[in-house]
């Protein structure tokens, strides 16, 4: 009779499995202590788990904080520039100040677009990797003429090696042979070398991410952690109402300050709104004091997760800045990727080998803080969730260990049960992965027929099924 009772119980447990809903999946982070580039790390995660880890909510962010022992990759990378307003609408009307149509290079190898009439030294070229540096100050057109009259070419740069070598004689900044197309053609405002060839390599200084406006109404892209005055606004019966603050703040600080007034940083979506804001500022220009710019509510967010989207951002207060952790400028011929340390994010050269976070797909579990016997816990999970949870992989074990930290009992019930001479998961999973105390299954337990997870050690132990413990369930 005892054997028959056990078989009936086993049949009841297992037949219920076929009628149960499937647990939902969630993404669990795995910290990998191997030094790989961002691209290699992504390939490793895809091969061994699922993808580089995406921080999709504040809970993800809290879990990662403290997990990275050094600067470590996450799945965020810069691909394109996408300007949008602080209300999350895209920017259609733009009023950028056109800095210049001719290119100059600094002695660090960075390129800047400047007005062609500026007087600067220049670089000529008389063969592959043969540069002639002139300290004679002329405008861009004069530099081009001077190179040609001396049977030389105005410097053209086609790769990172040439860019590095071309800086050898530059003391500060010098013209190179790159200018914008001014003809009214589909190529207008694109760049070309003096031989009319488009550039296949560029190294323009592009570390600017937030928009500021001057008193004339022109816009400038600036680093977001620069401190400027700012203008807040809101609509009052469909009429824009502005408020200029002279206190200098970073872009995010300025937006937060506006929100305390029930306002946003100024949004300028039409030429009429741009003119209205310009008039308001000119009438209150004494508040700007000596400042050249003030923040408006436009910023670009060129950062995309390698797997799915997320609005979560947790930049260090001086990031992103287009430089790596050692303040070296990231070359424009590689993408910028995001690494985290102490919970803060940094834009880094994707080719730098680092540790990284992978995302692993595991079944979702929840901790129930209601002490029950094992069979009571089983009924509770099947009535309100899916089933008592199996821990069928290393990833699910990690999830469970983190979930049970808040348990009020020293152990929590899992879906492990001993019947008819063997242990099994009541949800029907194979018992290939295990994490038993002392590294081996309890054999023929006399009274301890139910499996629990030890909160302190994370190990599995056999316990009496009548004990009252908290428990973990699969979530639908």
Q: What is the pLDDT of residues 264-302, one digit of tens each?
A: 999 999 999 999 999 999 998 888 888 888 999 999 888
Per the rule left: phi > 0, alpha: psi between -120 and 50, beta: everything else, 17 is alpha
Residue 369 has pLDDT above 80, yes or no: yes
Greatest CA separation for the chain: 109
Q: What is the pLDDT of residues 163-192, one digit of tens each?
A: 888 988 898 899 999 998 887 776 777 789
Percent of the chain having pLDDT more than 70?
93
Closest C-alpha among 316, 337, 340, 393 to residue 55:
340
- What's the 3-state SS for 152-203? CEECCCCCHHHHHHCCCCCCCEEEEEEEECCCCCCCCCCEEECCCCCCCCCC
Level-2 CATH architecture, domain 26-80+302-361:
Roll (3.10)
Q: Rounded distance, CA 435 to CA 393, Å? A: 10
Domain coordinates in residue numbering, the chain: 26-80+302-361, 102-193, 214-300, 364-474
pTM of the model: 0.65
Q: How many CB atoms lie within 10 A of CB 21?
A: 11
User: Residue 308 — pLDDT band, cuts 50, 70, 90?
Assistant: confident
Residue 403 has pLDDT above 90, yes or no: no
Three-state DSSP at 148 gives helix
Q: Rounded distance, CA 13 to CA 21, Å? A: 15
Contact 356, 32 (CB under 8 A): yes
Q: What is the pLDDT of residue 116?
A: 92
User: Residue 37 — pLDDT band, cuts 50, 70, 90?
Assistant: very high
CATH class of the domain comprising 364-474: alpha beta
Whether 364-474 and 26-80+302-361 are alike in CATH topology: the answer is yes
Q: Rounded distance, CA 189 to CA 261, Å? A: 41
Residue 9 has pLDDT above 70, yes or no: no
Q: Rounded distance, CA 149 to CA 349, Å? A: 41
State how beta strands 469-474 and 411-419 pair. parallel
Contact 161, 109 (CB under 8 A): no
């Amino acid at each position: 009779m005892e054997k028959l009772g056990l078989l009936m119980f086993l049949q009841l447990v297992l037949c219920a499995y076929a009628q149960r809903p499937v647990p939902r999946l969630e993404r669990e982070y795995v910290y990998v202590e191997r030094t790989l580039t961002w691209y290699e790390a992504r390939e490793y995660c895809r091969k061994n788990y699922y993808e580089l880890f995406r921080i999709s909510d504040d809970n993800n962010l809290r879990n990662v904080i403290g997990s990275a022992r050094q600067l470590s990759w996450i799945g965020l990378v810069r691909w394109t520039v996408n300007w949008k307003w602080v209300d999350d609408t895209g920017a259609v009307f733009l009023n950028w100040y056109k800095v210049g149509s001719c290119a100059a290079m600094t002695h660090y190898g960075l390129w800047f677009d400047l007005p062609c009439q500026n007087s600067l030294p220049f670089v000529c070229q008389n063969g592959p990797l043969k540069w002639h540096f002139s300290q004679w100050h002329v405008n861009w057109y004069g530099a081009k003429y001077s190179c040609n009259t001396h049977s030389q070419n105005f410097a053209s740069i086609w790769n990172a090696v040439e860019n590095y070598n071309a800086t050898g004689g530059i003391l500060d900044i010098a013209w190179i042979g790159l200018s914008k197309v001014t003809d009214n053609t589909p190529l207008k405002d694109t760049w070309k070398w003096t031989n009319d060839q488009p550039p296949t390599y560029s190294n323009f200084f592009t570390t600017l991410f937030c928009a500021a406006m001057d008193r004339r109404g022109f816009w400038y892209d600036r680093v977001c952690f620069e401190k400027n005055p700012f203008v807040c606004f809101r609509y009052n019966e469909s009429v824009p109402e502005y408020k200029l603050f002279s206190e200098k703040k970073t872009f995010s600080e300025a937006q937060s300050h506006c929100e305390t007034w029930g306002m946003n940083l100024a949004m300028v979506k039409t030429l009429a709104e741009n003119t209205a804001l310009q008039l308001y500022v000119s009438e209150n220009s004494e508040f700007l004091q000596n400042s050249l710019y003030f923040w408006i509510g436009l910023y670009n967010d060129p950062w995309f997760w390698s797997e799915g989207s997320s609005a979560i951002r947790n930049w260090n207060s001086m990031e992103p800045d287009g430089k790596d952790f050692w303040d070296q400028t990231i070359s424009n011929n590689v993408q910028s990727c995001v690494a985290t340390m102490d919970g803060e994010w940094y834009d880094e050269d994707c080719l730098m080998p680092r540790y990284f976070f992978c995302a692993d797909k595991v079944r979702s579990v929840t901790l129930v803080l209601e002490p029950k016997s094992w069979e009571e816990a089983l009924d509770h999970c099947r009535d309100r969730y899916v089933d008592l949870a199996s821990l069928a992989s290393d990833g699910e074990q990690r999830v469970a260990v983190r979930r049970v930290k808040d348990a009020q009992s020293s152990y929590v019930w899992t879906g492990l049960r001993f019947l008819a001479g063997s242990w099994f998961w009541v949800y029907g999973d194979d018992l290939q992965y295990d994490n038993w105390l002392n590294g081996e299954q309890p054999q023929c337990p006399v009274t301890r027929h139910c499996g629990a997870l030890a909160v302190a050690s994370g190990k599995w132990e056999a316990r009496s099924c009548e004990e009252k413990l908290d428990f973990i369930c699969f979530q639908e």
